[in-house]
Amino acid sequence: MHPLVAADAAGLQRLLHAREASATEITRAHLDRIAETDQHVSAFIRTLDQSALDHAGDIDRRLSDGDDVGALAGLPLALKDILCMKGVETTCGSRMLQHYRPPYDATVVRRLREADAIVVGKANMDEFAMGSSCENSAFFPTRNPWDLQRVPGGSSGGSVAAVAANDVPLGIGTDTGGSVRQPAALCGVVGVKPTYGLVSRFGLIAFASSLDQVGPIARGVRDAALLLEVIAGHDPRDATSIPTEVPDLHTTLEAGVEGLRVGVVREFMGEGMSDGVRSVVTAAIDRLGALGAEVVDVSLPHAGYGVSAYYLIAPSECSSNLSRYDGVRYGLRVDGETTERMMASTREAGFGPEVKRRIMIGTYALSAGYYDAYYAQAQRVRTLIIRDYEAAYADCDVLVSPTSPTTAFKLGERAADPLAMYLSDVYTIPSNLAGAPALSLPVGLDDGGLPVGLQLMAPVLGEPVLFRAARALERELAIDSTPRGRGSLAEVAA
């Protein structure tokens, strides 16, 4: 592996600013890496070689002229294909938007560009972010670099697999019910779901508006913090954006966990979890204790209803959010005799089965006569879960649990069983419902050699303590995040 693609973001920045590597060299190395690996991983729907090299050349010129460069200068980044990029096809993993070119940039995309991050490609995803395996992409499935016969998780599987495959040091995903954290766990990288409202949703193609949140992906906690500090911050174009200062993550990042109270969520340590996940997660929690954290048992009594509530709230919002895809203004159009026929045929052809299923569930849940029993009831459950967290944080600084009940499963294994797929997100969903931040940290491998993620959770705007705890454990465990072993990318790409 080329040393430039083996390096993390912080290392690349040192090389760049010491003039030991140019942005162009860094970018070329990563584009070469993608050319080598992506035939096996299929992380990208589209790479942006030319614009990436142009941007890198511009950064190099500014560096040699002594001009300012941004906080992410020269760092290649995989962008989930759900964030609008002006003039660049943004598909959302769907036939519906296969040739859609947004007329504007998402706020996150603008901030990344202003920070001089180099977007090298648009990453694959489950269609409209609905899925936990990346198999719901309308185009092709993405594969897990640790075992190419297995899924990378989803829906941000493309961005996560790209980071795990050393295609890029940084990735951007979105997390509605676990879509950053679950694939991060399955691919052995760090993935963060920030506080709802910390990162602007403007230009993020909506799945479930009250749950969607953009999050950073990296091979280490420091790189994830670096990226989050760039994309976070109030946006006057998003009414749900929190008008607050960007949290300072780096000052306390290395402060350790001594004295922190770490709550182990009882409801997330019960049945349904694989033995491998249990033993790796338990060992990681023990190490937190050994580092000086006070590990206590806590309960989120209503968290068990999270999946049920989520699968009413998210589909309800999606049924409305996705009604704009009708063939009238943009995206796919299938002609019809009448306007209604055209709209129906377009939606029939443009949406895949999982998207249709959720639109149907949501339409039903919002219908007159069912609203109170389903949508309103789910919102009440959401309130109870928020109160559970508040009670838990009265006694704890952070909470921990497994990120996913299992390690990566085989392609096709759960495709026919939506409920089994939905249960992949049983531990991640409650944080989305509560609007609170959570992070998945790789903490080891199971007996099959597949990565296991520990989920760390913090109260709303508790990112500093979240990153601090994750960094302490990361330093202690010193995990090697390079995919290896039988069936892995290492067998087919150096």
Partner 1 sequence: MSAAPGASPPPPTAARDSGVEQASRFEAVIGLEVHVELNTATKMFCGCAIDFGGAPNVRTCPVCLGQPGSLPMINAKAVESAIRLGLALGCDIAPSSQFHRKNYFYPDMPKNYQISQYDVPICLGGELQVATAEGFRHVGITRVHMEEDTGKSLHVGTSGRIHGAEYSLVDYNRAGIPLLEVVSEPDLRSAEQARAYLAELRAIVLALGISDAKLEEGSMRCDANVSLRPVGHSVFGTRVEVKNMNSLRSLGRAIDYEVARQTDRLSSGQPVVQETRHWNEDSGTTSTLRAKEEVFDYRYFSDPDLVPVEPDSDWVQRLRAELVELPAARRNRYTAEHGLSPGTAALLQTSGLADRFDEAVAAGAVPADAAKWLTNEVAAWCNEHLIDSAGVPLSGAHLAELTRFVSDGTLSTKLAREVLEAVLAGEGSPGEVVAARGLAQISDTQALGAIVDTAIAQNPDAAQRVRDGNAKAIGALVGAVMRATKGQANPGLVNQLLQARLHQAGER
Positions in the binding site for partner 1 (CB under 8 A) = 83-84, 90, 92, 97, 100, 102-104, 106, 201-206, 208-210, 236-240, 316-317, 319-320, 323-324, 326, 328-330, 338-340, 343, 363, 366-368, 371, 375
Task: In angstroms, give the least distance from the CB of 45 to partner 1.
Answer: 15
Q: CB-wise, 152 or 194, nearer to partner 1?
A: 194
Task: In angstroms, give the least distance from the CB of 423 to partner 1.
Answer: 25
Q: Is residue 414 within a helix (H) or strand (E), and if so which, with residue range?
A: none
Q: Which alpha helices (DSSP H) does 106-246 contain, by range?
A: 107-114, 157-164, 181-187, 221-231
Q: CB-wise, 102 or 233, nearer to partner 1?
A: 102
- Contacting residues for 301 by C-beta, under 8 A, at least 6 apart: 267, 388
93: closest CA among 460, 395, 350, 342? 350
Task: In angstroms, give the least distance from the CB of 211 to partner 1.
Answer: 8
Task: In angstroms, give the least distance from the CB of 461 to partner 1.
Answer: 17
Cα angle: 395, vertex 397, 401; to 5 degrees:
95
Task: In angstroms, give the least distance from the CB of 66 to partner 1.
Answer: 37
Q: CB-wise, 210 or 252, nearer to partner 1?
A: 210
Q: Is residue 120 within a helix (H) or strand (E), and if so which, with residue range?
A: strand 118-123
Task: In angstroms, give the least distance from the CB of 314 to partner 1.
Answer: 11
Q: Burial code of 196-219, b = ≥16 C-beta within 10 A, e = fewer?
A: bbbbbbbbbbbbbebbbbbbbbbb
- Structure letter (DSSP) for residue 117: -
Q: Is residue 81 within a helix (H) or strand (E), and if so which, with residue range?
A: none
Cα 2 to Cα 252: distance, rounded to the nearest angstrom? 32
Residue 265: exposed, middle, or buried by beta-carbon count in 10 A (0-12, 13-18, 19+)? buried
Q: CB-wise, 30 or 193, nearer to partner 1?
A: 193
80 flagged as catalytic? yes
Q: CB-wise, 279 or 363, nearer to partner 1?
A: 363
Cα 318 to Cα 311: distance, rounded to the nearest angstrom? 11
122 flagged as catalytic? no
Task: In angstroms, give the least distance from the CB of 7 to partner 1.
Answer: 33
The two tokens of residue 462 are: 């508790």
Please check whether residue 452 is in contact with residue 445, taking contact to mean a CB–CB distance below 8 angstroms: yes
Residues in the chain: 494
**3-state DSSP helix/strand/coil % of the chain, to nearest 5:** 45, 15, 45
The catalytically annotated residue of 80, 156, 241, 431 is: 80
Q: CB-wise, 212 or 474, nearer to partner 1?
A: 212
Q: CB-wise, 86 or 484, nearer to partner 1?
A: 86
Residue type, 469: A
431 flagged as catalytic? no
180: closest CA among 158, 149, 150? 158
**Dihedral of CA 17/21/25/31: which sign?**
negative
Active site residues: 80, 155, 179
